[in-house]
Structure 1
Amino acid sequence: MAISPPAPLAGAPLSDRLAATQSSPVRELLQIAMRPEIISLAGGLPAPDTFDVPGLRAAFDEVLAGPDAIRALQYSTTEGDPALRDRLAAFMAKRGLEVAGDDLLITTGSQQALGLIASALLNQGDVVLVEDPTYLAALQAFQLADLRAVAVPSDDFGPDPDALLEIARREGAKVAYLIPTFQNPTGRTMPHERRAAIAEAAAQAGLWLVEDDPYSALRLEGEDADLLAAYAPERTIVIQTLSKVLSPGLRIGYVRAPQALRGPLAVAKQAADLHTSTIAQLAAERWLATHDLSDHIAALAAHYRPRRDALLDGLREHLPAGTKLTEPEGGLFIWVELPEGHDAEAILPRALDRGVAFVPGKYFYAGEAPRGTLRVSFATATPEELREGAARLGAACAG
């Protein structure tokens, strides 16, 4: 399935930045996957049946029926609602990092944070170091900002620290963008030793670290890991979000930044959209005030765990001999490396014909991509559908 950049309107040429920015293949695949006969393993959307519709309705009602109704409908401060920031800081601080509400900036989803960081820290043509592979929408954000993403060789535990240091010095990089816990797309998690080594390499190279952390709350087994920022608090920006644990429609992300960067990021946010929706912030704060987020997250784990297990079992049974799979302890994704001779992009049309969708791995690489890689998600289908989807995928691989 070939993905093409959007066509310019006649007489209205696009900017060079937008013309060079590839449309998201996941977005296009999700449109195909909406067909009722398709089992979608493509998207990373949280399962709709995990949304607390009654609780969020009550939170919005409380805001609009109470003394904060007028404030909820008015402009607000760029940094975000203080009460919400305090609650989110308390949640982030459970991962080994001292965080106060004043350390946070509320963003319109965590995706906006990437654009703000690019605006505040980087100039046109600057290099951003990324994992190999990495989150495809981050690559989009860096393309749109006229940045150059350079991949750091990675293994099962994340990017190689020695390579990070060498490439950072060679390229004059200022920033490294990393997803240490339940990485998208691979699902892998950096162990303690790798996090410490990355922090040391960043210090030697003078790098800012951007720790994208949307999935760590979705732990399905094992012990929680400290944030990478706990190893390098003075040089690490942490991005978290309520999208995966509460609702993506709220568009509530938040950024913890070292003190030197809080002002510049707030200026970038002010220029981008003034502030994130006031009513959404106040409703999110009311929901957090009246619900135990830890209990809610435990229920999410109980929902996703059997789905992960069903998809892993199905993939092991039906994919070709010699296939390698990640076995994530959390998050929403499994990474597949097919044996030599298989091309995921060539397999995709056959898979769609058989009623299953996935994302070819090539879209997650900043450089040259192996042909036999692909990402699958267990987020939105039932265990039965996931087992059937794995069987259909196996048939597509066989030709």
Structure 2
Amino acid sequence: MNNDSSSRIVLALHQWMKAAPPGSRLPSTRSLVAEYQASPVTVQKALHALTAQGLIESRPGVGTFMRAVRTARPSDYGWQTAALGSPQSVLPSSSNTMRDVPNNAIAFHSGYPDRELLPERLVRAALTRAARGDAALSRPPAAGLPELQSWFAHELGASTPAGITPPTPSDVIVLPGSQSGLSSIFRALVGAGQPLLMESPTYWGAILAAAQTGVRVVPVPSGPEGPDPAELARAFEETGARVFYAQPNYSNPTGAQWAPGRGEEVLELLRRHGAFMVEDDWAHDFGISTSPVPVASRDDSGHVVYIRSLTKSVSPAIRIAAVIARGPARERILAQRAAESMYVSGLLQAAALDVVTQPGWQTHLRSLRQQLLSRRDLLAGSLRQHVPQAHLEGLPHGGLNLWLRLPDGTDAAKLARRCEDAGVIIAAGTEWFPAEPAGPYIRLNYSGPNPGAFPEGARIIGEALAAGA
């Protein structure tokens, strides 16, 4: 088959179609073979290429015709404005951390680790095995595969001290990622119009879930050692809130880990006020110089609703998380989940369970800790060298991010645009505050691709900042 001959016929037919009226019938294959002195296979290849371009269509038993040209006209959706009315709430747009960017950019913005930090071999093998099993064809229980429920319960129970009753598999609800789980939890435990206490700054997805469910967010300032117990107590008393959302280990965006004993102080406040804490342990697998100890491991009275995700540590293609809750709270959350999605893909549940129960999983986590340490220190050192006018708000003991305080008066959004023009993608810190920002910040992900470019990226940030962003 001659590719040059096929291309020559395509070009010739392009010229023929320019002169022919729309909808014209093309010459038969026999005619084209004779005219261009080509084989039938070559002519068919040319016709397939034109079909793929949407220029011609075959009508069996009739012939091959030019497609009629349809004139595009602007669509008028104005009628929907009256039909929909005013929105009940204005939801924040999707985070800039979810943007796709050019491959040659230096990307600090993403919320996910680079592909080379994932257990790719384990994931591929797990998906293959799961596709061959019953999970590929059957409907799993609404609360999740029993074996995966047991794994999540055991993981939390492993850090439960003596004297505290560990969770059981029946306390676990498997979720299709933590984002939808947050929405279900807020609907079930808070309700539209009711107050929800939330660390500030905090995960943008939790802010989005709160807006989506119509709850009223009340920010509680949180620093490198966690929220001030006195401030948290005041917020409970003044608002009458019954739920507090927090990330005690490696908070997104700051990387902060609560000080020793802070969890016990918060637990005492929860007991005193008859309240819940939603503990988001998103970075459980991303410890660097410490290991996370969930507050939920020290609670057996149902005050802490614990949510843990495997999406970032296993694979973004395997959106699996779980919530562990006890008592009526668990039943309300399960009812919300069943109403929203009925059940979670058994195939993805089986694949996730396969990955985390392989011997290679623990080997991967040990290697991951070392890789995150190297990347964190490289980026932090680069920032100190090239962006000395900014302040690094502590070197995190885990997680994926550095939280950089910019000089007062800096326009973080303008800085992000200036950096993007120079090929560096950063995330302005505004979207991590549930209310007004406490100052100008940017969040930088040190688990992104091409760590060798971190010094160059820091240099560009420093130059953009010095230029008056």
TM-score over 0.5 for the pair: yes
Equivalent in the alignment of 1:24: 94
**Distance in 2, Cα, partners of 1:52 & 1:20:** 38
Partner of 1:36: 103
| 1:315 and 2:391 correspond | no
Give secondary structure in 1 for the equivalent of 2:197: strand
**Equivalent residue in structure 1 for 2:174, among 106, 115, 118:** 106
Contact 1:107 1:113 in 2 (8 A): yes
Match of 2:113 in 1: 46
| Secondary structure in structure 1 of the residue aligned to 2:435 | coil
Separation (CA, whole Å) in 2 of partners of 1:317 and 1:186:
20
Where do residues 110-129 of structure 1 align in structure 2 (5 Å cutoff)? Answer: 110-129=178-197
Q: Tell me, what secondary structure is at the counterpart of 1:128?
A: strand
Which deviates more, 274-283 or 11-20? 11-20
Which stretch of structure 1 is more off in the superposition, 115-124 or 130-139? 115-124
Query: Is the 2:288–2:398 Cα contact (8 Å) retained in structure 1?
Result: yes
- 1:112/1:17 Cα in 2 relative to 1: closer, same or farther (>3 Å)? farther
Is 1:364 the counterpart of 2:428 in the alignment? no
Which structure exhibits the higher relative contact order, with contacts defined as CA atoms closer than 8 Å and separated by 6 or more residues? 1
User: Larger deviation: 48-57 or 108-117?
Assistant: 48-57
Distance in 1 between the 2:346 and 2:366 partners? 28
Bigger CA radius of gyration: 2
1:92 and 2:159 correspond: no
Q: 1:152 and 2:204 equivalent?
A: no
**Does the 8 Å CA contact 1:46/1:379 hold for their aligned counterparts?**
yes
Shift in Å, 1:372: 1.7
CA distance in 1, matches of 2:111, 2:334: 29
Q: Give the conservation status (yes or no) of the 8 Å contact 1:345–1:371.
A: no
1:156-208 alpha-carbon deviations (Å, 9 max, x no partner): 21111111111112111111000010000000000222111111122222221
The offset of 1:387, in angstroms, is: 1.6
Q: 1:55 corresponds to which residue? A: 122
Q: Pick the aligned partner of 1:227 from 282, 289, 294.
A: 294
- 2:395 is paired with a residue of what secondary structure? coil
Amino acid at match of 1:45: Y
Q: Deviations over 1:350-392 (max 9, x none)?
A: 1111211111111111122134211111111233211211111
Structure 1 runs (4+) greater than 6 angstroms displaced: none
1:205 aligns with 2:269: no
Report the counterpart of residue 5 of structure 1 in structure 2: none
Is the 1:362–1:370 Cα contact (8 Å) retained in structure 2? no
- Matched residue type, 2:131: L
Alignment root-mean-square deviation, CA = 2.0
* TM-score of the two chains, using structure 1 as the length reference: 0.91
Secondary structure in 2 matching 1:177: strand
Aligned equivalents of 1:9, 1:267: Cα separation in 2? 36
User: What stretches of structure 1 of length at least 5 have no aligned partner?
Assistant: 1-7
How far is the alpha carbon of 1:18 from its aligned partner?
Answer: 7.2
Gaps of 5+ in 2: 1-75
The offset of 1:16, in angstroms, is 5.7
Contact kept in structure 1, 2:97 and 2:427, CA below 8 Å: no
2:331 paired residue number:
263
What are the Cα deviations for residues 238-264 of structure 1, in whole angstroms up to 9, with x where unaligned?
100111221121110001112232211
TM-score between the two structures when normalised by the length of structure 2:
0.78
How far the C-alpha of 1:267 sits from its partner, in A, is 0.9
Distance 1:59 1:16, change over 3 A: farther
> How far did residue 15 of structure 1 move?
7.4
- Residue equivalent to 1:176: 244
Quick one: distance in 2 between partners of 1:348 and 1:9? 34
CA contact (8 A) 1:192 1:225 kept: no
* Distance in 1 of aligned mates of 2:125 and 2:140: 22
Q: Which residue of 1 aligns with 2:139?
A: 75
Distance, in Å, in 2 between the alignment partners of 1:17 and 1:238 is 32
C-alpha deviation, 1:233, in angstroms: 3.5
Aligned to 1:285: 353
